[in-house]
Structure 1
């Protein structure tokens, strides 16, 4: 199919039947990625139904823009569906989102953890609930605009779907989808996973979609102004209480203005004078309202205990692990619920997701519950 500037190759949605006999549900956030995914699904010839989640109450939603599932985004999704000639539904998941994502985000901050709300959202309302809704509609596929790939390979027990990184490494979103289950993956399809972002925008422009030039969301969707501390203080006011900043030896070095302003690995905002080297937050002790700080080398971690594992791959010990969405996977060994890094790893903190890979393939992941310092001599008892 050829437009003025762009040649569009329709992806194989692997529907298991002729497209004209299939029904496809598309999760539409109101952005360019999900809009192009919907366009590709519609051009396949299948019956397509667009679904947008309203994650905020109506009064708040209409004020928000530039963030996923905001008021403007719901309108944009409806306009794209009208342009494509497909049905569009809006589902009110405000209470589910508040309980499962926003409240958990605030709780993690109050516990001195580093939250990853996008992973929580994908594991909850984005996939679990949408998957159930698509099944209720008798859908043959649930399409999303994520930059990941679903690869079907033959195994000893027959064909099996695998989740792989997006073809464009700059856009890969597999880290946030580690909680996808095998049952969900059977239904999910990712038609833009093979494409670079620039091509997706060009396709949207060629099709005349109003979101073609729409900026990507840069912040956590429910904190579009980036003021995480402000949100947490409103929900968990105890996190604003001041407390001590102590060194690894327990010596008091200063005062902080509330643990809500800090995460492990942070340097900014400590305002400690007289140190011969930069100091970083090594540990947060919320019950004592205390920050433990030390030199950068004290942030090195040799292993991490991981809970709530979700596993898509086979049982294997030698893997590569990502502990942050923008970090590179590093070699590690899985031993039960413990990850042992081949080399000391920095930027590892409780609350983050640890995601295991075998090359391009996502094997699974879980939440980091506890870390062990690679420099035990520097550690002090909590």
Structure 2
């Protein structure tokens, strides 16, 4: 009997994952990760992690599996929260869920599980793992979940072969309604529980308040830039970066306050991200304003009217060498090589046709169609059909 430690989060997906593994004959242990102590920045008055750990414990009792809570809040603060603050401070927008999987669930948590004698670690992610052979060695494939609406492979885009080797994803072959049905049939308390919409394992957090713990509010201006001004700037950029077509497509425009008119004030450029529409507090425009650029040094936000504003769109992005990651190391491109892939720059975005170009300093991802709100600090993930083969931080 192989031993599996399941990360029981107190949600329906991990509850059903534990149930399925037990049915398959594994020896199952449930572990709840406590990753946060500061309740002052969570939205709900009740303590979300307490409620979640309670639900996880009740599920474990129902399934007759051992259960314990592990406190990883110190590592979480160090590896996720501090990183987040640092990224926001630099005007980038991090993805804590991708990092949480790489740094916490499949690293710190996985080590604890292996110390408990586990053969595998399981989570409630909607994705699948397959194994193939390359040169006589097993190679693990990270596949999209069967439920296209819930596929969570993107969140695991930074996992390594070593991590995948020890991972199990029991609900990846199911749809969300099927998972809820299994939970209901087996009278699991989490059957109708709503999906959590918060930072990985912290619960619901008000991001501006969360960031204000470290990043002080400071007033700056909101500048509106017209579509014509952006098109003019794009032409100028082409003149400057003449010889390198890819660099030109990937380079973002830089704005100055003279490029537009001041339409409002904000409390800190580092609280805003490209493509953001809510929270600007500026009315009276024909179409809603979207953030098309931020400058944290000068504390200025640049905006444009409407979701089709040219300032929102770019045809390519760049990933620096040290921020490039191959899940399938055997498919890693060498300098000068290209590859046709499907790519996404955020969770839930439909896959887009793209071509990878490997250069000495990193990797260009060139899209067939221009993409809206390519955002520094987020992860771009690339797929061959429904296999996720690599990813990197958008620079």
Q: Work out whether the TM-score is over 0.5.
A: yes
What TM-score, normalized to structure 1?
0.83
Q: Kindly indicate whether the alpha-carbon contact (under 8 Å) linking 2:55 and 2:189 is maintained by their aligned counterparts in 1.
A: yes
- Find the residue that maps to 2:376 and give its secondary structure: coil
Equivalent in the alignment of 1:352: 378
Whole-angstrom distance in 2 between the partners of 1:51 and 1:90: 6
Other-structure match for 1:243: 220
The number of equivalent residue pairs is: 344
Residue 335 of structure 1 corresponds to 357
| C-alpha distance in 2 between matches for 1:131 and 1:166 | 22
Q: Report the CA distance between 1:326 and its aligned residue.
A: 1.5
Q: Deviation digits for residues 242-267 of structure 1, max 9, x if unmatched?
A: 11233355344234222244211123
Larger mean CA deviation between 75-84 and 290-299 belongs to 290-299
Is the alpha carbon distance of 1:254 and 1:37 closer, same or farther for their aligned partners in structure 2, counting shifts above 3 Å? same
Gap change, CA 1:27 and 1:311, over 3 Å in 2? same
Structure 2 matches for 1:57-72, cutoff 5 A?
57=37, 70-72=49-51
Map residues 252-331 of structure 1 onto 2, 5 A cutoff. Answer: 252-258=261-267, 259-270=269-280, 278-295=288-305, 296-307=309-320, 308-313=323-328, 314-315=331-332, 317-331=339-353
Change (3 A) 1:270 1:85: closer
Structure 2: distance between partners of 1:58 and 1:256 = 30
1:114 offset after TM fit, Å?
A: 2.1
Q: 1:274 to 1:44 in 2, by over 3 A?
A: closer
Note if contact 1:242-1:255 (Cα within 8 Å) is conserved in structure 2. no
Q: Map Cα deviations across residues 244-295 of structure 1 (whole Å, 9 max, x no partner).
A: 2333553442342222442111233445577676543211110110112335
Is 2:24 the counterpart of 1:53? no
Counterparts of 1:59 and 1:269, CA distance in 2: 23
Equivalent-residue separation in structure 1 for 2:37 and 2:303 (angstroms): 40
- Give the distance between the partners of 2:13 and 2:352, measured in 1 at CA: 29
Deviation at 1:165, TM superposition (A): 0.3
Aligned to 1:6: none
Q: Which residue of 1 aligns with 2:252?
A: none
Which of 10, 13, 17 matches 1:37? 17
List alignment gaps of at least 5 residues for structure 1. 1-20, 370-382
In the alignment, the residues of structure 1 paired with residue 213 and residue 194 of structure 2 have an alpha-carbon distance, to the nearest angstrom, of: 29
Instruction: Tell me the distance in 1 between the aligned counterparts of 2:64 and 2:275.
Output: 49
Q: Which region of structure 1 is more displaced relative to structure 2, 244-253 or 323-332?
A: 244-253
Sort the Cα spacing of 1:158 and 1:65 in 2 relative to 1 into closer, same or farther, 3 A.
Answer: farther
Please, which runs of 5 or more residues in structure 2 have no aligned partner? 226-254, 334-338
Q: 1:352 to 1:65 in 2, by over 3 A?
A: farther
Report Cα offsets for 1:30-82 as digits up to 9, x if no partner. Answer: 11110111111112222211111111238779x87695xx1111111111111
2:127 and 2:145 in contact (8 A); partners too? yes
The more displaced of 111-120 and 152-161 is 152-161
Q: 2:130 aligned with 1:146, yes or no?
A: no
Structure 1 residues 222 and 159: CA distance shift in structure 2, 3 A: closer
For residue 111 of structure 1, report the CA deviation from its aligned partner.
2.3
Give the match's secondary structure for 1:122.
Answer: helix
Aligned residue for 1:180? 159
TM-score, normalised relative to structure 2: 0.81
Q: Distance in 2 between matches of 1:301 and 1:322?
A: 14
Is it true that 1:118 corresponds to 2:127 in the alignment? no
The answer (yes or no) to whether the contact 1:142–1:189 under 8 Å persists in 2 is yes
Q: Do the aligned partners of 2:197 and 2:204 also contact (CA within 8 Å) in 1?
A: no
In 2, the alpha carbon distance for the partners of 1:267 and 1:105 equals 21
1:36–1:219 CA distance, 2 compared to 1 (3 A):
same
